[in-house]
């Protein structure tokens, strides 16, 4: 434990291994039941949460969980969980699972997920505050920073789904449904309705008397599987779970009512909606949890079969199907933006995906920064340039120490009006819109042609800038950029519309002097710019050296002027 009471992430880590037995498996395929997987993941997450908090904790939510592979009977499931960050009375737990073949030693990644746990309220309804996490390694610091971005996405996604439930769908919206014409084989959702009731017994509850979140998810998955199988008539396979938000607890002796129904089919997959209510004997029913489960129906070779379309029987079912279609589009968008570890080219920006783009923006910058494959390309008096090959593209990194406080450097760099003062390549900067209370900014750049020997048009860019000030020593000041597509700013014939895969600044104070900071600039080059760089590496390094020296001089001059006025 550090002097300030914070705890290293590795001190919160919990590892456990489970031998997958027949009772844990789907008897049709001899693979681990999705509900059992969720249950084990929740337990190990709870162990990590309580190891850190040192008080009883309960599950609050589970982020999107995608099962990449199925673990077979007889294998060992290894589970590993740790705390990424604590937020006053809540914390984010990262859980990884892999299967292990004890005969061959082969390890296969099954899935990973982020759980949110909160401390259990005391008799006065107050929750205990949690000690801070003190990240030490670059990976821990990156996850600490990204945990805050995931928290924003969580709340944004929850609000989006809740708003969708309140939306009154017009006839135009229903036209979107690609199955708005139904043939004689279309299926009614009514036969897929499944309801079951469970009594919460002591073995279903944790050590403070409330039902395990994992146990509730296991019951939900079992119910959802029945609904899915009633539609597809083969053993369905769980592939993802989302919107798992625990609204209220249930306790030993409560009756838990689980209702599920297939909401819609999407060619090769289907969505089942599950709602959980609970009541004590003689008391009213209360809503405690709901979630959406996505299944596929595999054939004998394991390939998903094509599913029949659904046929709504009333307006309520019609609206349910339309909402399911909207959710599947949201999931596809989230997977496109968040699922790739490689650079993703420009994606259309909208308010609904803004937090996703910002998260991936910052994540990409930190991932490149953590790379250990840098080679020194050039060394100048105040600047060192490095290069690295990443995902078939060239990345350039510049590092320099500047005699100004880190916060001063950040405040100057995040204000795009200053860009043309130090960036020798920049012609014009237009701030299109500030979003998320100024944490993100949509920008339009016009930049000089990088190869003056070629008679080419100037480049223009449409970018999103994600800026995150540091409010504690363990987090760097971060400014990240990536290209986006805006309908209001289509390509112009007088410019060459260029793309920025990933670029930005990381600014940290130097421990030796609070008035010194290290500025790291990163730029992942697109293929066309890379081809130019290969032709004129010396020219490119000279441009970076001039920009870096210009920036350093302006920062130090302005800081000196500020101190003089004071």
Residue 178 has a pLDDT of 47
Same domain, 144 and 223: no
Q: How far apart are CA 374 and CA 395, in angstroms?
A: 9
Same domain, 324 and 389: no
Query: At 405, which CATH number?
Result: 3.30.530.20
Q: Is residue 346 part of a domain?
A: no
Q: How far apart are CA 251 and CA 328, in angstroms?
A: 33
pLDDT in tens, the chain (566 residues): 555 566 778 889 999 999 999 999 988 889 999 999 999 999 999 999 999 999 999 999 998 788 999 999 999 999 999 999 999 999 999 999 999 999 999 999 999 999 999 998 887 878 899 999 999 888 899 999 999 999 988 888 888 877 777 765 554 455 445 444 555 678 899 999 999 999 999 999 987 789 999 999 999 999 999 999 999 999 999 999 987 889 999 999 999 999 999 999 998 999 999 999 999 999 999 999 999 999 999 998 889 999 988 888 888 888 889 899 988 888 888 877 776 555 566 789 988 888 888 999 999 999 999 887 899 988 988 899 998 876 667 888 999 999 999 999 999 999 999 999 999 889 999 999 999 888 899 999 998 875 555 557 888 999 999 999 988 877 899 999 999 999 999 999 999 888 888 999 999 999 878 899 999 999 987 665 555 555 555 656 777 888 899 999 999 999 999 877 65
Residue 171 has a pLDDT of 45
Same domain, 157 and 196: no
Same domain, 128 and 202: no
Q: Is residue 83 part of a domain?
A: yes
Q: Is residue 345 part of a domain?
A: no
Residue 412 has a pLDDT of 96
- Is residue 77 a contact partner of residue 150, using CB atoms and an 8 Å limit? no
Q: Which 8-state DSSP code applies to residue 352?
A: G
Phi/psi of residue 29, nearest 5 degrees = -115, -5
Same domain, 449 and 497: yes
Same domain, 183 and 256: yes
Residue 167 has a pLDDT of 66
Give the range of the structural domain holding residue 17, as residue numbers without chain letter. 1-166
Three-class secondary structure assignment of 111-145: EEEEEEEEECCCCCCCCCCCCCECCCCHHHHHHHH
Residue 478 has a pLDDT of 96
Q: Is residue 497 part of a domain?
A: yes
Same domain, 106 and 27: yes
Q: How far apart are CA 94 and CA 91, in angstroms?
A: 10
Q: Which of 102, 131, 166 is the last residue before a domain boundary?
A: 166
Phi/psi of residue 8, nearest 5 degrees = -70, 140
Handedness of CA 299, 305, 307, 308 (dihedral sign): negative
The token pair at 29 is 């395929």
Phi/psi of residue 468, nearest 5 degrees = -130, 110
Same domain, 151 and 272: no
SS3 at position 530: helix
Query: At 216, which CATH number?
Result: 3.10.129.10
What is the length of the chain? 566
Same domain, 51 and 191: no
Same domain, 443 and 491: yes
Q: Which of 166, 195, 217 is the last residue before a domain boundary?
A: 166
Q: Which of 132, 166, 200 is the last residue before a domain boundary?
A: 166
Please state the domain count of the chain. 3
Same domain, 228 and 298: yes
The alpha carbon torsion through 22, 27, 32, 34 (nearest 10 deg) reads -130
Same domain, 233 and 94: no
């Amino acid at each position: 434990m550090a002097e300030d009471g914070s705890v290293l992430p590795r001190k919160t880590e919990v590892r456990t291994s489970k031998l997958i037995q027949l009772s844990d498996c789907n008897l049709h395929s001899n693979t681990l039941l999705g509900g059992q997987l969720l249950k084990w993941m929740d337990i190990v997450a709870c162990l990590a949460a309580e190891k850190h908090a040192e008080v009883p904790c309960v599950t609050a939510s589970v982020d999107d969980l995608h099962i990449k592979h199925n673990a077979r009977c007889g294998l060992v499931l290894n589970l590993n969980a740790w705390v990424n960050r604590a937020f006053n009375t809540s914390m984010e737990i990262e859980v990884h699972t892999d299967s292990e073949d004890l005969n061959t030693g082969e390890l296969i990644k099954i899935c990973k997920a982020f759980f949110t746990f909160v401390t259990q309220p005391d008799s006065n309804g107050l929750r205990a505050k949690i000690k801070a996490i003190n990240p030490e390694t670059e990976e821990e610091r990156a996850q600490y920073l990204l945990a805050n971005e995931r928290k924003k996405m969580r709340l944004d996604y929850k609000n989006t789904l809740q708003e969708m439930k309140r939306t009154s769908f017009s006839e135009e919206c229903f036209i979107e449904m690609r199955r708005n014409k139904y043939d004689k084989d279309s299926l009614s959702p009514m036969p897929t309705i499944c309801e079951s009731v469970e009594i919460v017994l002591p073995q279903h509850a944790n050590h403070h008397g409330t039902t395990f979140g994992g146990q509730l998810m296991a019951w939900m998955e079992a119910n959802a599987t029945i609904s899915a199988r009633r539609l597809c008539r083969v053993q369905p396979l769980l592939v993802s779970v989302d919107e798992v938000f625990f609204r209220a607890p249930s306790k030993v002796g409560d009756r838990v009512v689980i209702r599920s129904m297939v909401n819609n089919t999407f060619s090769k997959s289907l969505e089942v909606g599950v709602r959980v209510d609970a009541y004590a004997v003689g008391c009213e029913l209360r809503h405690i949890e709901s979630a959406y489960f996505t299944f596929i129906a595999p054939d004998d070779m394991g390939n998903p079969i094509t599913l029949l379309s659904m046929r709504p029987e009333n307006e309520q079912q019609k609206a349910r199907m339309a909402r399911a279609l909207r959710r599947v589009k949201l999931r596809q968008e989230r997977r496109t933006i968040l699922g790739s570890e490689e650079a993703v080219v420009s994606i259309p920006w909208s308010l609904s995906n803004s937090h996703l783009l910002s998260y991936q923006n910052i994540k990409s910058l930190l991932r490149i920064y953590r790379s250990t494959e840098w080679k020194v390309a050039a060394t100048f008096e105040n600047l060192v340039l490095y290069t690295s090959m990443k995902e078939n593209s060239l990345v350039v990194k510049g590092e320099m120490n500047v005699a100004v406080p880190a916060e001063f450097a950040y405040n100057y760099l995040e204000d795009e009006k200053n860009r043309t003062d130090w960036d020798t390549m920049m012609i014009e900067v237009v701030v299109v819109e500030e979003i998320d209370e100024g944490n993100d900014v949509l920008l339009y750049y016009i930049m000089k042609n990088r190869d003056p020997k070629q008679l080419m048009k100037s480049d223009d860019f449409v970018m999103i800038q994600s800026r995150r000030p540091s409010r504690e020593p363990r987090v760097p000041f971060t400014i990240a950029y990536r290209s986006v597509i805006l309908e209001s700013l289509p390509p112009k014939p007088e410019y060459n519309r260029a793309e920025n895969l990933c670029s930005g600044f990381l600014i940290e104070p130097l421990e030796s002097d609070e008035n010194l900071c290290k500025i790291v600039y990163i730029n992942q080059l697109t293929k066309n710019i890379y081809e130019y760089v290969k032709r004129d590496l010396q020219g490119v390094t000279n441009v970076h050296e001039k920009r870096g020296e210009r920036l350093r001089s302006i920062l130090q001059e302005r800081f000196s002027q500020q101190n003089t006025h004071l």
